[in-house]
Amino acid sequence: MREELKKLETEALKEIEASSNDREALEAIRVKYLGRKGALTDIFKKIGTVSPSEKPEIGRLINIVKENVSKTLDAKSEAISKRSVKLDGVDVTLPGVAHKTGHLHPVTRTINEISDIFISLGFRVIEGPEIETEYYNFEALNIPLEHPSRDAFDTFYLKTEKEKYLLRSHTSPVQARFMEENSPPFAIIVPGRVYRPDATDASHSFMFHQIEGLVVGKDIKFSDLKGVLTIFSKQMFGSDTKMRFRPSFFPFTEPSAEVDVSCIICKGEGHCSVCGDKRWLEILGAGMVNPKVFKAVGYDPEKYTGFAFGMGVERIAMLKYGVNDIRLFYENDVRFLEQF
């Protein structure tokens, strides 16, 4: 058995040396000699045939051979790891170049945050086309032909031979489309891009994002609207945020209101460049759905009531993150984007 052990050790060391830089061959040698069904295990099983006086010596030799083969395998494996292996001129053993992990754009983050708040209140997220007809962008929302927003200078019209198409100026057309195909009760929000031919400056852009909300059902009241927006403002801007409604006018809601929150910078104390010492910041418009809108989509205004609201996402993001120029969101300046 001594000769068998010596022969096994010699063969194993030769095979390890001949394995070159092949890791798979090295692992195969490890299994062949040291595995559960390997050659060394087979010899160990034969120790029962050895005389009692020789068992201690044979056992010691088995351990020595196992240790020598194991150390040689480990040394060879380490040498392969340290060796400089070049593939197509690339040294794969050199440290890699770490790539920076990307993250969501601040506008996308704001859309997701706003959506998550309303989803937690039972709203569904709905999307719709950015190219619209005059009917859905205006008439279905009680915006008559003579309304100022229908002037060609206030809307991006597309040149077509038949029906007039345009880039939607708000996300409200999706609400009209949704109501035509669905029956109350429901609660939806509609995030998306909108387009208006405004002169670009620190607070205006020809393309921006809106999120509209619509709730329709029986016995929906203005107090429901106030409750939903109160929860939203506190979750979005902080639990100590105050909110107020100011009377306003929108063709598709009646009554209508502008909604302000207490300045998130000065906390309503004034002496602030963001709110201009007014202590309030306008964040959205809202109101009860005009009965004429219900009639346009086939709802009975005597049976159903509802409320709607709409907010500019960039406006919310500017307030939340203290950004003073809307153009920063679209300039792709990494120095700006890395702050988020």
- Under a CB-based contact definition with an 8 Å cutoff, are residues 237 and 334 in contact? no
pLDDT along the chain (340 residues), means of 10: 80 81 80 81 76 80 84 82 60 76 89 95 94 91 80 79 86 94 95 91 89 96 95 91 91 93 70 68 92 94 96 90 88 87
Residue 37 tokens, joined: 């069904």
Question: Could you identify the residue written with the tokens 């392969």?
Answer: 80
Distances (CA, A) of 9 to 40, 50, 66, 294: 9, 20, 8, 91
The residue ranges of every structural domain in the chain are 2-89, 106-337
What CATH number belongs to 106-337? 3.30.930.10
Alpha-carbon distance of 239 to 216, in angstroms, equals: 27
- pLDDT score of 277: 65
pLDDT of residue 18: 81
Beta pairing partners, 202: none
The SS3 call for residue 275 is coil
pTM: 0.67
